[in-house]
Structure 1
Amino acid sequence: MRTWFVTGVNSGFGRQLTEQLLGRGDRVAGTVRRAGSVRDLQDKYGDQFWVAHLDVTDTPAVRVVVDRAFGELGRVDVVVNNAGYGLFGAAEEVTDEQIDHILATNLVGSIQVTRAALPHLRAQGGGRIIQISTYGGQATNPGASLYHASKWGIEGFMESVGKEVAPFGIEVTIVEPGGARTEFRFDSLHTATPMPAYDASPAAMTRGADDRGRPSLGDPARMAARIIASADQSAAPKRLVLGSDSYRFLHAALSERLADVTAQQETAGLTDFA
């Protein structure tokens, strides 16, 4: 039996992970922003399911909740940074407030949960950190620049942290899901107010992202099962690609970036001291 700390367990991957983990007998410390949103699971699983209210943009609260989870449960084997949302719209269309909030949630929130957990993971001699990202943490689409900024940022942070904490027995996995049939596109997707100047631009492609008539490819239950199974892998996968669409987008983006770099092999050194 493992103990998991998962942010944002009321819906989406967080809910799927929690249901599967509790169903197989693991303990879950879950956080929610809406009180009562997981009452059914609390009633069913009792002390097996530890719940706390948390908005990950509140850094002092993050530290209190993480400390309390480790203190009351004794040990947490896996920390899952799941809380987050999407923001679609051209960079010029989104507001300053929208920018501040998505970075505070998707980027800084995960950073602070990780920082709060690391002293406990070191003290207990190891553990696993799983960061839920997206193929959009490596590939980009127009109309999602701020969402990509948050995800590219957290992926860089987690890659670096993984190297920092490896000597302590702490491993890091970044999860790269493609589209999934969760509530994300409908309940966790924020959009900017459209500007007519962008009506015919590539950025306009995201304006129909919440169309329920275009279902995503990914099965969230299967994706959650793959995430859970990854915790048994040794060594931990640095990246976990979920979905044929994710693989396609990632492979194309990384191939293009590598080709751009390789083409400059002969000229890159021209700026070195002679």
Structure 2
Amino acid sequence: MSEKVWFITGLSSGFGRTLAEEVARNGDKVIGTVRQQCLLEEFNNISVGNTFAYLMDVTNPDGVKATIEAAFNHFGRLDVLVNNAGFGFLGAVEEATIKDYREVMETNFFGALQVTQAVLPYMRKQGSGRIIQMSSAAGFRATAGFGVYNASKFALEGMSEALALEVAPLGIKVTIVEPGPFRTNFAGTSIKAAKQEMPEYEATARIFKNNILGYAGQQEGDPQKAAQVIMQVVNAENPPLRLPLGSTAITAVRKKLEQVEEDIKSWESIAAHTSFDV
């Protein structure tokens, strides 16, 4: 089958919007979700007959199920799910409130989980499907001042690793995409921050916050090129479980792996001997 049906969440701007445009330009059908009525007609007109917008909030379980059911009934299949909806959050772990944590987790983790669970019955019935989980380099390696966001993406990655093992025998493949800094609105309208700023974190969390906000619109990554890579992954026979995107992300992932290996080597002689004596 050459033509695919994609379901992409959060496409008002950024990665979601760019990916949807590239997919439609390639001749595939794109179902995109937005949260504002005014965006429906605009997206439908991007590629008439190929782009179809639906109102949906990933944090609304009933709305998610109803939207996915309607999309499947309209097209008769769902080939690719891209969980893209989400937002960033800046602030030290101590500065953020529990309410802050819950709000970020509700969208970035539980929202993606709900959409995934709602799509899986259709993909299982088809015996095929691709799931793209839009994580971040921050979902693999944590940074001071990004702990809330790190937590949400680490959770997404842990769930997705297990999911990949569970659905592989069912003909469904999962890829976790880990972008570095790309020129989207992530560092602008798609990011929030803790209201409390403690002086104890000026040299750690605050520096990171200022760096993130300071390079809005100047990030090295080209979203269109990223979209083209994601499309290649979707069409690959053996897609990767993880896909760091951009040189910054690749460097960050490698540094984390080196750090873990160093920790293991430093303590292995002691940590390995924890079994009962025979």
Same fold (TM over 0.5): yes
1: CA distance, partners of 2:60 / 2:108: 12
1:268 equivalent in structure 2: 271
Corresponding residue for 1:166? 168
1:166-185 superposed matches below 5 A: 166-185=168-187
Alignment deviations for residues 66-90 of structure 1 (CA, whole Å, 9 cap, x no partner): 2221222111111000001000001
- Identity score, percent: 37
Q: Distance in 1 between matches of 2:43 and 2:57?
A: 20
Q: Secondary structure at the match of 1:4?
A: strand
Aligned to 1:12: 14
Structure 2, unaligned stretches of length 5 or more? none
Partner in structure 1 of residue 38 of structure 2: 36
Provide the TM-score with structure 1 as the length reference.
0.95
Q: Would the aligned equivalents of 1:13 and 1:220 in 2 still touch at CA under 8 Å?
A: yes
Measured after TM superposition, the shift of residue 254 of structure 1 is 1.4
State the alpha-carbon separation in 1 of the partners of residues 57 and 248 from structure 2. 31
Distance 1:199 1:168 in 2: 47
Q: Deviations over 1:185-221 (max 9, x none)?
A: 1010101124242353311113322225771111111
Runs (5+) with no aligned partner, structure 1: none
Asked if the contact 1:10/1:38 (under 8 Å) is kept, the reply is no
Separation in structure 1 between the aligned mates of residue 271 and residue 208 of structure 2, nearest angstrom: 36
Q: How well do the aligned residues superpose, as a CA RMSD in angstroms?
A: 1.5
Aligned: 1:46 with 2:48: yes
1:91 shift after superposition: 1.5
* Structure 1 counterpart of 2:204: 202
- Residues 142-185 of structure 1, C-alpha deviation per residue, up to 9 Å, x if partnerless? 00101000001100100000000100010000001110001111
Number of equivalences: 274
Report if the CA contact (8 A) 1:54-1:62 is conserved: yes
Report what 2:150 is aligned to.
Answer: 148
Contact 1:142–1:203 (CA under 8 A) maintained in structure 2: yes
CA distance in 1, matches of 2:257, 2:181: 19
Matched residues in 1 for 2:182 and 2:46: separation? 26
Is structure 2 residue 228 aligned with structure 1 residue 225? yes
Taking structure 2 as the reference length, the TM-score comes to: 0.94
For residues 221 and 23 of structure 1, the distance between their equivalents in structure 2, rounded to whole angstroms, comes to: 12
CA distance in 2, matches of 1:154, 1:27: 26
- Partner of residue 250, structure 2: 247
Q: Report Cα offsets for 1:109-131 as digits up to 9, x if no partner.
A: 11111111111101001110000
Q: 2:62 aligned with 1:55, yes or no?
A: no
Name the CA distance, whole Å, in 2 between partners of 1:24 and 1:191.
37
Q: Which runs of 4+ in 1 moved over 4 A?
A: none
